[in-house]
Structure 1
Amino acid sequence: MFGREEIDEVKSMVEDERSEVVELTSKLVRFETVVPPGETGECVQFVKSYFDDLGVETAIYERKPKKANLRAKIEGGAGETIIWLGHLDVVPAGSLENWSHDPFKGEVVGGRVYGRGTTDMKGSCASAMVAAKVLASIMERTEVKESLPTVEFWFTCDEEIGAVDGTRWLASEGLFKGEVCVIGDSFGSLPTDPWVDVGCKGYIRVLLRARGKTAHGGVPFLGENAIERLSEAVKHVKEVGNYPLDLPEDVEPIAESSTEFLLRFPGLTEAQREAAKKVFWYPTVSLNIIRGGVKVNVVPDEAEAVFDIRITPGHPVWKVEQVIRGLVEGSGVEVEVAGTREGFYERLDSRAVRSMMDAVEAALGAKPHPKILTGTTDGVHVERISKIPCVGFGAGVRGVAHAPDEYVTVENLVMAAKVYAVFPFIWARNT
């Protein structure tokens, strides 16, 4: 079985591709795969040509024209399959006045590659391409190929808008088949301080609807103000943020580690630090949409509020819904659940988590920490539909995704490539 000598060789091979991973990131950024419309066809052709030159088997899958997904497959002989999953679509750049660097040039300045999608997540895609190059080369040796699993690298569309034509569709078509999935859409790691995603939160989207009676604004007592009625109910829903979650014992250490991750965000005020300490132990409640009123001199007869409420995995979402309905009961406001999703987590002693934690430490020489994502990735579709355990690691930089002057560091690109290339060796060892 593989030892330190093989791992060191893989790491050295990745180091030799340092300039290539930077160049690939820049080239990927130049494809404006912005959603909407999220057309990834040309970008996928570029990635395909890279693998074609390496002699790696590829296949393109499209549910709609120009919304392309790519699979690159490196065949192993161990009878198992590892999936690496990333997305090529990016969010809009916003006002160019807020950018110091062209968002679609991929400029390299001071050890950073700038541009929309560098952190989320074309940088990690470039790291995966280099890792695949290293694996394809080393697996030309028969004794290595026979001992390693097959590795499939998937580059998808539509992650930023629900993955309807991307991962969700691919999973529904039964195209993901494997023992573990590595999600490249991950941020917050440094070569000396790495973090592994072992799950993500669930959510419940709650809509409150208040009804009233119109009247002239000069005689409001003749009407019934729906906005005022709604405002009282909003206060009740926000109280769910003080409802302690009942977490399983095996989730508690992950919640503690995840809390520490949040507390390391730079520049937090004392109030923000106190809020961060509650994120994984209580539901987070965010009032994100308010609708109501038709004219400044008319008492409103209808008003709505929409909440995004996130719940740490291990605590059933339906229990939080029960609490919300109990809090709002008697307020005269309608409660509608606009959507729910249970979160997921992998146990720390699972093969998936053990292998990723070991791979990170072997690749970087630093002990990683587990964390739960406060948002979601395409991993939810792989877990829910394909029933494949997911763990995450990536090159993404903390706090810059979707922001002006988004960037990824060269060191993080190399870091992620090393982890992706080492992971199959560790997986094969951790049977």
Structure 2
Amino acid sequence: VNLKVRGKSAHSSRPQDGVNAVLKMSKVLLAIDAHGFDFPPHSLLPAPTIAPGTVIKGGTKGNVIPELCEAISDVRIVPGMTVEGVLGEIQGIVDGLKEEDPELDVEVSSPLNKPPSEIPASHELFQVADEAVRATVGYELKPVGTSGSNDTSWLTTVAGIPAMAFGPGGGNAHGADEWTSIEMLVDFAKIYGLMAMDICGVE
């Protein structure tokens, strides 16, 4: 979610002549941080979260009251929730703050409408993957959820193409030393091959 707060610039020696957009933004972010989603949890996923102010920028010089402050709040939702619903909740928080502070000028928007997605474990795609995993490594494939984001959202929810996030594991995601093992890569090359053969009807 993108937040944009507009204030009024002034010389920093006379802060009373301006409206500090950064201070106003801090009110908004703290209010969002205190907010909790009133939504039933998903059986396979963590509860929905808001991480306010993952990116924030404001001000131009040390001696100028900032007239603009922009911030990003990372929001993770679960199937059954909508981006529009989340924006409505955040707008409600902002509207409440505006009643207390008439100078507050906030714009709420979403740069990316990426809906959550899921397919049931009974779906053919999951069953094909399960059979390939059993044949390759002898494990039973179990459905799990993740709060991370990937292209299954676009494929399943937007394009109507059933998809699931399924690949080799590892560690240190998004870190400098993110890794997976060669053994897992080899196993998944076999698994993907078996899945393709099964779906295409190749013996």
- How do 1:142-153 and structure 2 match up within 5 A? none
Partner residue, 1:222 = 17
The amino acid across from 1:328 in the alignment is: V
Name segments (4+ residues, structure 1) moved above 4 Å.
424-429
Q: Percent identity?
A: 27
Assess if the C-alpha contact under 8 Å between 2:172 and 2:179 holds in 1. Answer: no
Q: Report what 1:328 is aligned to.
A: 94
Instruction: Please state if 1:282 is matched with 2:48.
Output: yes
Greater per-residue strand proportion: 1
1-structure distance, mates of 2:165, 2:125: 10
1:107-163: CA deviations, max 9, x gaps? xxxxxxxxxxxxxxxxxxxxxxxxxxxxxxxxxxxxxxxxxxxxxxxxxxxxxxxxx
- Could you tell me how far apart the structure 2 residues matched to 1:387 and 1:396 are? 26
Mapped contact 1:214–1:300 kept (Cα < 8 A): yes
What amino acid does structure 2 have at the position aligned with 1:297?
Answer: N
Unmatched runs of 5 consecutive residues or more in structure 2: 99-103
TM-score (norm 2): 0.81
Segments of 5+ residues of structure 1 without an aligned counterpart are 1-205, 256-279
Residues 286 and 418 of structure 1, relative CA distance in 2, 3 Å threshold: farther
Match of 1:416 in 2: 188
CA shift at 1:412, angstroms?
Answer: 0.6
More deviation, 317-326/282-291: 282-291
The reply to whether residue 359 of structure 1 matches residue 132 of structure 2 is yes
- 1:323 aligned counterpart, secondary structure: helix
What do residues 75-124 of structure 1 show as CA deviations (whole Å, max 9, x unaligned)?
xxxxxxxxxxxxxxxxxxxxxxxxxxxxxxxxxxxxxxxxxxxxxxxxxx
- Report the counterpart of residue 101 of structure 2 in structure 1: none
Aligned residues: 194
TM-score (norm 1): 0.41
Query: Is this contact kept in 2: 1:246–1:315, CA < 8 A?
Result: no
- Correspondences of 1:27-426 after superposition (within 5 Å): 206-240=1-35, 242-247=36-41, 251-252=42-43, 254-255=44-45, 280-329=46-95, 330-331=97-98, 332-339=104-111, 340-384=113-157, 386-400=159-173, 402-424=174-196
Question: What residue number does 1:50 align with?
Answer: none
Task: For 1:383, give the aligned amino acid.
Answer: T
Give the counterpart letter for 1:238 in structure 2.
D
